Amino acid sequence: MSMATSLQSRTSNGVARAIGPSASASPRVLVVMYGNPNYHPPTINGVRIMSERFAVNVVCRNEAGPDADWPHSVAIERVGELVTANESFGASVWRKLSWYRTFVRRVAATIAETGPALIYAYDPIGFAASIAAIAKSGVEIPVVFHCHDTPVLGSRRIASLQDWIIRYALRHTCDAAITIFPSKHRAPLWLDKAGDPRAPLIVPNGAARDFYPSREDWNALAQRRWESKRVLYLGSMGPENGQPQALSALAVLPCAFKLDMAGFGTAEFRRELSELAAALSLEARVSISDWVPDHERNRLAEQASVGLVLYRAVNLNWEHSGPSPNKLFQYAAWGLPVVVPDRESFREFFANDEWVNYADPEDPAAIARAIEFILGDRDRYVAMSRAARRAHETKYNYERLFAPVLEKICTLVEAAHDASELRHAR
């Protein structure tokens, strides 16, 4: 069911339904994200975990995007008119300012309507909206700042609305109760500029524990995968994601190897990939598609032998990706060995993980060698596949990774409740 029509959703310019404080005794958490959280599985995972302890409201933009499986108890409000990513990118600065002011006002109104004990804000623009809404509301609410992606922080651009918002978020980072980043190498990129000396929490973007169910035939599945020689890329599609290099690597590999690529991207870029595949005489060995539904994604993963994460170091955020790509941990849940960039943030985090192999994402020959190593020996491949699934079950599922954050949230909510009772007693 599309989240635009889900019973748990509403848009602020559509027919509203009550989202005020629940009759239950559960404290309320308000989740704020300026974007479509359906694109972010870790956000959905975090909201699901929080909803088991708290009543949760989500306020986000009304952006077009994929369907997502949200907990039925979570109230989601998508603010403003429905816009596509292209419409958002091409809008004038004045239209963007109008959108953002409307969003901040809606967050402030939701604070007044629901009385949250805590705000969980994703990324700098959502965090800035939360801080501005609190100031507008005149209340004291602890804010958790979870920074998935660190924006490029260059020289000041006076005409850029996003730049002004990001700098507002930097100035108020010290006001956050806690900060969270997916990689310890990304955290200083933001915190040093914010002048925040506190240690952040590091929460890699793991897959949910039940993302892919356990099965009895892992060894047999691994042997079939080893025989299939299929390489898989799932995720965002663009020049910075390494798909052209993956195609060039395939051209170096024996003809038995094949490559499936699926994910969000422009039709123009998929056309460019198809043209490159044709130029390399790879049409029969390659499939290129837009994002696919969950059942098709699982089918591709079950047929695949190796997963690819080839983020190129096009900026500091991407250079220090490490455990940030959620698809990396989805591959682990499927029991797929992976090839990742040969960079410090990856090598340090996955130092003891035998299911991870490394390659220079700019070098197709290195990528090909890394794939060949994984598939060079059947017994070694089966061991790597089992190690990937074991890593998901024991250390990289989101429930385990998010546990320190949940503990902090519980402490903050309890403190906020005590402070509220004290104020009322006076």
Q: Which residue pairs, CB below 8 angstroms and at least 24 apart, start in 238-241?
A: 238/265, 238/266, 238/269, 239/269, 239/312, 240/311, 240/312, 240/314, 240/318, 241/310, 241/311, 241/312
Spell out the domains of the chain, with CATH numbers in brackets: 9-205+399-425 (3.40.50.2000), 218-396 (3.40.50.2000)
Q: Could you tell me which of 306, 420, 295, 280 has the C-alpha nearest to residue 359?
A: 306
Mean pLDDT, contiguous 10-residue spans, the chain (426 residues)? 40 42 72 94 96 97 90 95 85 90 97 96 97 94 94 70 92 98 95 96 97 93 97 94 97 97 92 97 96 91 97 89 94 98 96 96 98 97 97 97 97 82 60
Within 10 Å of residue 174's Cβ, how many Cβ atoms?
Answer: 13
Per-residue confidence (pLDDT) for residue 9, from 0 to 100: 53
Question: Which residues are registered as beta bridge partners of 77?
Answer: 10, 59
Tokens of 313: 């170091």
Distance in angstroms (rounded) separating the CA atoms of residues 297 and 306: 14
Q: What are phi and psi of 187, to 5 degrees?
A: -55, -45
| Residue type for position 102 | T
379: exposed, middle or buried (Cβ count in 10 Å: 0-12, 13-18, 19+) = exposed
**For the CA atoms of 262, 321, 132, 193, what is the dihedral angle to 10 degrees?**
-150
Model pTM score? 0.90
Per-residue confidence (pLDDT) for residue 25, from 0 to 100: 67
